[in-house]
Amino acid sequence: MSQRKYALNILQDTRLTGARPDKFPMEQYLKLTQDDGELLKDPVKYRRLVVRLIYLTVTRSDIAFSVRTLSQYIQDPQKPH
């Protein structure tokens, strides 16, 4: 499986195929904390997405910082995460 196909599958699964690319995958100077808001109703989807993105960072180093930051909240993800 190619990384392109893998990335497209992630976009399809998250229903973001129509999203436009951005220069930064995350707001600069964004400060996230463990109690940023309401807990997600289905944290399994968040965990699955983060794990899939970790694999994608092998070839996409431009998203590595954002993925690493979001993976810190994999235990109790909240809406801002």
Alpha-helical (H) ranges within 31-63 are: 43-56
Q: What pLDDT does 16 receive?
A: 83
Helical (H) or strand (E) element with 10: helix 3-13
- Residues 6 or more apart whose CB falls under 8 angstroms from that of 80 comprise 32, 36, 37
| Dist. CA 81–CA 79, nearest whole Å | 5
For the ranges 16-30, 35-49, 61-75, which has the lowest average pLDDT?
16-30
Rounded CA-CA distance 6/12 in Å is 10
For position 81, what pLDDT does the model report?
Answer: 66
